[in-house]
Structure 1
């Protein structure tokens, strides 16, 4: 869901790797361990997974390479992000399927109870995150697509609070606490280091 086509580039220095979308830090390589922890948690709940937002592909590859995974589909809005990923990973695992599209349009097309888990990490404008109407419309579709016992895992938070966008749609939430250390100039965390929280929402 976007109104303008942003500039997308991969910024690499000797010590830092940043995916920049529209001049904003969409993802950085220091997130790897948190992405892997999220992916490993997801893979405890089945074999068929769905991911929203490709980013640097860290979680996508981790999920696709898990021995339990039969199929992992990743939906990415920006074709430039897909191109960057394919340049860096010309031979992805056969379980990984990357598609281009807008999640807010595609989510209603997901078959009912068709996936064991969804990892959710798209690059969205702040007005989308704050729009209650959007989340009240979209999250029931996410729950519908999950099988009973399936999970929804959004990207980690460095603030110890449950995300209001998802809480009304799940009765059970598991939270894991991890440590993190971001880059000196990371702009999207609450502090350069500390605790990060992975929230795992369960469909009963």
Structure 2
């Protein structure tokens, strides 16, 4: 996908809330920690070499890299500013954690086949990307190709009890875990600010 201009990226800390803002939109907030950790822990059940799309606040990246099972973890981030903010808060990173720059929808075609045991997917994307059926039809077979047999693809949690259509046609085995969540009162990207969230794990047979 083309990003001709870099949006304004800032870390907003106000009234006890921590928000990563990209282009004026809430990209991620610190209340997500337990859900990100649950997703990361699930990913690490399936192997030792992992790939993550979207750094955000780095909650899942650090959790995955610090798991005793993890041999290598690579994070792909689109924006320099997001990595700069993360490194300012976490100057000492695990040796097995690598952060790369790039656009996933191009990079996925370059990744070696059967090279990772799991992929965690949590980029900040515009709605026109999420609704682009042709883009997902091209991209998801590449994700499956990159996964080793038995490897998994875990997208960010959903606060709606439904499987995501973007990924569903490409996997036969799907594991779902339900977790309670409480967001900030100011959170705009969830379906309500408290309730149940669903971690979806798509496994390559």
Q: TM-score range by the shorter chain?
A: over 0.9
CA distance in 1, matches of 2:173, 2:16: 39
CA shift in 2, pair 1:76/1:41, >3 Å: same
1:157-196 map, 5 Å = 157-196=158-197
Gaps of 5+ in 1: none
- The RMSD of aligned alpha carbons is 0.6
1:140-159 to structure 2, matched below 5 A, reads 140-159=141-160
Q: Which residue pairs with 2:73 in the alignment?
A: 72
Unmatched 5+ stretches in structure 2:
none
Runs of 4+ aligned residues of structure 1 deviating over 2 Å after TM superposition are 1-4
1:41 matched to 2:42? The reply is: yes
> Shift of residue 122 of structure 1?
0.2
Deviation of 1:14 after TM superposition, in Å, equals 3.8
TM-score, normalised to structure 2's length?
0.98
- TM (norm. structure 1) is 0.99
Work out the CA distance in 2 between the residues paired with 1:23 and 1:43.
Answer: 33
Residues 151 and 44 of structure 1, relative CA distance in 2, 3 Å threshold: same
Structure-1 residue corresponding to 2:31: 30
Return the alpha-carbon distance in structure 2 between the equivalents of residues 29 and 52 of structure 1: 18
Report the number of matched residues: 204
CA distance in 2, matches of 1:4, 1:171: 39
CA distance in 1, matches of 2:4, 2:154: 26
Question: For residue 83 of structure 1, what is the aligned residue in structure 2?
Answer: 84
